[in-house]
Structure 1
């Protein structure tokens, strides 16, 4: 739901009635991940998507029905020969969708959803935990969970349910993840199972591009397209200018290693070293390879890479750290132009982030989506108590 937070925040501010359909589980080659949402207001205006087009019409009608009846429902959509080109998912996947009415007069769930939408739209770190499977009277109940572990709202039921749900949602928020988690309805690890969908909304991940060259300009544009907050850093003020990098969120004039020492990075940060100059590269990579970031790549030929490894070893960087270095940077696309090279680098970053192999899908026997569970991976309810899926 938080993927359409901006529009939902506006609808809440305007006092509109609306219903929201949220993907709560996926199987097979489903096009959207849990948390993807479609919302429909009282006038029939729709925003968002749950399937990339496969079942939007059917889900739209479910939202309108929820507005009429005031009832929360959960519906499964999957592929079959009979309805493949009607309602089914022609991609061969299966999705479960929770459809909840959110009338303006509601004083239970709506304030929680409105606060979550406001926080996410404003770029503040927050988590929204909702019951998506369990006792009918609890279905759709929600908690807003803050980074400090505090929460607003209630899931109802046992007093310990809120406390346990907030703790689970905070753990996912710390990792910047959206996922489902199964706990007991009494807040323990046993008893009737309740499934929560915990959606995390965190600021965009950072991409820091070191080296204000023409390849960097293309990489900045691709990084922004992928949703990164992009910084360009170079020690040369004549090259590191906002005029040369209008798409960057910020342009910093500083020695790369000094900037890296004082800026904030996290486990989602991508560091792209395009300077291919030893006096910049070595002190920068010496620090970068010891940071808990998602990706460290460095531009240069195979010959440059060998020389770089030698210098880094002389600087005391060990083999475990060197194994993290993606160099020469990018996937083998045969890239020549700055734009093609940027695509090569971005492809490697995505593959690293999602667990992809970078091999062609044609003829491959690997799953298209590497970071989702298929229906054949599902465990029984008893096995999943307290587990993240």
Structure 2
């Protein structure tokens, strides 16, 4: 909902009824992932997208029906072998879409969630998308130290369920994760959906991930622009005030004049596993102190510009600082993919492509040469297990 938050907040402030359709489950190849949303106001205005066009018309109508009935619904859309022109995804994937009507002022969790998202406060919105009919659409909004809303004023089993949902949603918020969560009505985690369980879709809204570009060179300006395009909060840092100026980097969110390693030391509480560090200085007096610190931090990506000779010299110096081969192996150097890039803009595309591939688990090979899934992140295991669960859709009366 984050990408449509401004419109949703405007409707909410005006007291206008609307419906939000959210992708809560994906399998196979699908154009958009969990959390993608389409919202429709009572007067028919639509914002956002759930499928990039494949099923937008059908979802729009579901939203209109939900506004009229006041009832939420979970609907599944997939490709039809019998009728290739049937409503569905021609790419062969399956989307589970939860449609919820919203009347401002009637649900404390939704009201609080919309306010937190608009203000930039980290919040997790947990909604029941499958389970007992009385719980469908019930929600809690969870921050680091509080929660709003309730699943039910009644039985003790629901009180236990609410406590568990708040605890699990807060853990997902801390990790910045969005995905499904299955709990028994007694609050215990479950491996499978079924009778006596409730499936929650938990959407974590956290500040934009950070990209810190060290080195105020001509290539940096292009990397800043593409970093902003990818949705990062971008900072440029350089120790040379003549180069580190807002005039040279108008697209950057912040331009900092400081030694790179010293600035990084001040940012330890603002970086996490989504943070990207692009070291473009290719000057040992800047690079080595910076990388010696960076390679010890749990950031998502660290890349450094330079020739292969520079890289060899750099790794030798880093070993002398006490870094292990495992730590040094995290460094992407020379930075970027082999696209044959020459210009700053082409180099920025190369860097961005490597960042996306590293984040999403891509092979960096042309899609035309493979036969497997094109969305690698949807097939990962480990702590992403909850993201892969797909709730069973409830029957929808057309």
Q: TM-score range by the shorter chain?
A: over 0.9
TM-score of the superposed pair, with normalisation by structure 2: 0.91
Structure 1, residues 148-201: CA drift from partner, whole Å, max 9, x if none?
Answer: 2x2110122611111100111111111111010111022124671211100000
Question: Does the residue aligned with 2:134 lie in a helix, a strand or coil?
Answer: helix
Once the 2 structures are TM-superposed, how far is the Cα of residue 91 of structure 1 from its aligned partner? 1.2
Once the 2 structures are TM-superposed, how far is the Cα of residue 25 of structure 1 from its aligned partner? 0.6
Aligned residue number for residue 261 of structure 2: 257
Query: What is the CA–CA distance in structure 2 between the aligned matches of 1:180 and 1:198, rounded to whole Å?
Result: 6
Query: What is the CA–CA distance in structure 1 between the aligned matches of 2:134 and 2:275, rounded to whole Å?
Result: 41
Report matched runs for 1:50-61 at 5 Å: 50-61=50-61
Query: What is the CA–CA distance in structure 2 between the aligned matches of 1:326 and 1:210, rounded to whole Å?
Result: 15
List 4+ stretches of structure 1 deviating above 4 A: none
Given that 2:178 and 2:387 are in contact with CA atoms closer than 8 Å, whether structure 1 keeps it comes out as no
Query: What is the CA–CA distance in structure 2 between the aligned matches of 1:146 and 1:352, rounded to whole Å?
Result: 29
Q: Which of these residues, 281, 304, 309, is aligned with residue 298 of structure 1?
A: 304
Aligned residue number for residue 176 of structure 2: 176
TM-score of the superposed pair, with normalisation by structure 1: 0.93
Query: What is the CA–CA distance in structure 2 between the aligned matches of 1:112 and 1:6, rounded to whole Å?
Result: 18
Aligned residue number for residue 396 of structure 2: none
Aligned residue number for residue 348 of structure 1: 354
Given that 1:6 and 1:118 are in contact with CA atoms closer than 8 Å, whether structure 2 keeps it comes out as no
Aligned residue number for residue 130 of structure 1: 127
Given that 2:211 and 2:227 are in contact with CA atoms closer than 8 Å, whether structure 1 keeps it comes out as yes
Structure 1, residues 217-251: CA drift from partner, whole Å, max 9, x if none?
Answer: 00000000000000000011110000000000010
Once the 2 structures are TM-superposed, how far is the Cα of residue 373 of structure 1 from its aligned partner? 4.6
2:335 is the alignment partner of 1:335: no
Aligned residue number for residue 232 of structure 2: 228
Aligned residue number for residue 201 of structure 1: 205
Gaps of 5+ in 2: 390-398
Gaps of 5+ in 1: 378-383
Aligned residue number for residue 48 of structure 1: 48
2:212 is the alignment partner of 1:212: no
Once the 2 structures are TM-superposed, how far is the Cα of residue 83 of structure 1 from its aligned partner? 4.4
| Range moving further from structure 2, 181-190 or 280-289 | 181-190
- Count of equivalent residues: 376
Aligned residue number for residue 8 of structure 2: 8
Given that 1:29 and 1:92 are in contact with CA atoms closer than 8 Å, whether structure 2 keeps it comes out as yes
Aligned residue number for residue 318 of structure 1: 324
Query: What is the CA–CA distance in structure 1 between the aligned matches of 2:189 and 2:112, rounded to whole Å?
Result: 29
Once the 2 structures are TM-superposed, how far is the Cα of residue 363 of structure 1 from its aligned partner? 2.3
Q: Which of these residues, 97, 110, 116, is aligned with residue 119 of structure 1?
A: 116
Given that 1:182 and 1:387 are in contact with CA atoms closer than 8 Å, whether structure 2 keeps it comes out as no
